[in-house]
């Protein structure tokens, strides 16, 4: 199965990092978060990727064009421009990089890469979120329901803690940053059938995948959710980047499955 990754957004909420590079290229532990996401998929046997480019997409193209040399020991003879590669630590990624437009929204980006997909189920996620989700279980869940779309549902950690206070002002319960509030949200890590493109039939360039397409799939009973109760983190703002960096540096990166 091929893996489609949205990597074209502006990343305005983390502008401190995205003035010179797209958000998926913001580094965690010296590697772009995009690399971390791809490594998650590779650890489950999925190593063929289609990346939807937009804002500063050339940065991602240049990263992969030079990836082999950047991850190798080399000797360069400047006189004749001869390069000898002694050792490489490159992954077994096969990457298709598609310019899906600077201002195109996610539904339009997905529609524009259809020609690079075979007539089979495929995986889809965002270029800014990591998790310890078991992707093989997500695929098995998808196959067991025979629906068009499966989304991984998560309950993120609340940004603030919560208290229960009695009428006299006595705190009855205090919890620092509880996990969610009972609601499930879209955590990415989708599995989709080719028939999903029937929900992308019109001009989708100004449509979010999360709006009309997913809403219509829901109305038709064609969207199911795999509940993931483990680690999940979206790098939405600078504080998230710092948190992920700290987890990586402390050897507590729960998304590291490799």
> How many Å apart are CA 109 and CA 114, to the nearest integer?
9
Kindly calculate the radius of gyration of the chain based on its CA atoms and give it in whole angstroms.
20
pLDDT category of residue 131 using cuts at 50, 70 and 90: very high
pLDDT category of residue 182 using cuts at 50, 70 and 90: low
pLDDT category of residue 177 using cuts at 50, 70 and 90: low
Of all residues in the chain, what percent carry a pLDDT higher than 90?
A: 73
Average pLDDT over residues 192-217: 96
Would you state the pLDDT for residue 178? 59
Q: Is the pLDDT of residue 172 over 80?
A: no
Are 254 and 40 a contacting pair, CB within 8 Å? no
Question: Model-level pTM greater than 0.75?
Answer: yes
Q: Is the pLDDT of residue 115 over 70?
A: yes
Q: When comparing pLDDT for 157 and 159, which is higher?
A: 157
Would you state the pLDDT for residue 159? 65
Please report, to the nearest 10 degrees, the dihedral formed by the alpha carbons of residues 27, 33, 38, 39 taken in order: 60
Q: What is the DSSP string of the chain?
A: --EEEEE----GGGHHHHSSS-GGG-EETTEEHHHHHHHHHHHTT--EEEEEE-TTHHHHHHHHHTHHHHTEEEEEETTTTEEEEEEE-----EEEEEE--SS--HHHHHHHTGGGS-SS-EEEEETTEEE---HHHHHHHHHHHT-SEEEEEE-PBPSS-EEEE-TTS-EEEEESS-B-SS--EE---EEE-GGGGGGG-S--TT--TTTHHHHHHHHTT-EEEEE--S-EEE--SHHHHHHHHHHHHTT--TT---
Would you state the pLDDT for residue 162? 66
Q: Is the pLDDT of residue 220 over 90?
A: yes
Q: Is the pLDDT of residue 36 over 80?
A: yes
pLDDT category of residue 14 using cuts at 50, 70 and 90: confident
pLDDT digits (tens, 9 = 90+) for 243-258: 999 999 999 999 998 8
> How many Å apart are CA 32 and CA 12, to the nearest integer?
17
pLDDT category of residue 20 using cuts at 50, 70 and 90: confident
Q: Is the pLDDT of residue 46 over 70?
A: yes
Domain definitions of the chain by residue range: 3-249
pLDDT digits (tens, 9 = 90+) for 83-94: 888 877 778 899
Measure Cα distances from 35 to 5, 18, 40, 173 in Å: 11, 16, 9, 41
CATH superfamily ID and name for 3-249: Spore Coat Polysaccharide Biosynthesis Protein SpsA; Chain A (3.90.550.10)
Would you state the pLDDT for residue 132? 97
Q: When comparing pLDDT for 168 and 72, which is higher?
A: 72
> How many Å apart are CA 228 and CA 168, to the nearest integer?
39
> How many Å apart are CA 212 and CA 199, to the nearest integer?
8
Q: Is the pLDDT of residue 189 over 70?
A: yes
- Cα-flanking dihedrals φ and ψ of residue 133, to 5°? -65, 140
């Amino acid at each position: 199965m091929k893996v489609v990754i949205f990597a074209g957004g502006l990343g305005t909420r983390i502008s401190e990092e995205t003035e010179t590079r797209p958000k998926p290229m913001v580094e965690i532990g010296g590697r772009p978060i995009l690399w971390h996401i791809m490594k998650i998929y590779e650890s489950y046997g999925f190593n063929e990727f289609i990346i939807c480019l937009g804002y500063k997409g050339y940065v991602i193209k240049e990263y992969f064009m030079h990836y082999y040399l950047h991850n190798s020991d080399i000797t360069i003879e400047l006189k004749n421009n001869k390069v000898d590669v002694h050792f490489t630590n490159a992954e077994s990624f096969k990457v298709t990089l598609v310019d899906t437009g600077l201002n195109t929204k996610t539904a339009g980006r997905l529609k524009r890469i259809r020609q690079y997909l075979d007539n089979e189920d495929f995986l889809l996620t965002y270029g800014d979120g990591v998790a310890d989700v078991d992707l093989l279980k997500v695929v098995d869940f998808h196959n067991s329901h025979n629906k068009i779309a499966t989304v991984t549902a998560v309950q993120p950690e609340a940004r603030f803690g919560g208290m229960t206070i009695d009428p006299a002002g006595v705190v009855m319960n205090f919890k620092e940053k509880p996990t969610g509030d009972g609601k499930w949200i879209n955590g990415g890590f989708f599995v989709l059938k080719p028939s999903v493109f029937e929900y992308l039939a019109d001009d989708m360039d100004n449509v979010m995948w999360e709006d009309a397409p997913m809403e219509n799939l829901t109305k038709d009973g064609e969207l199911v959710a795999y509940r993931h109760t483990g680690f999940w983190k979206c790098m939405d703002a600078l504080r998230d980047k710092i948190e992920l960096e700290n987890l990586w540096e402390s050897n507590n990166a729960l998304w590291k499955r490799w």
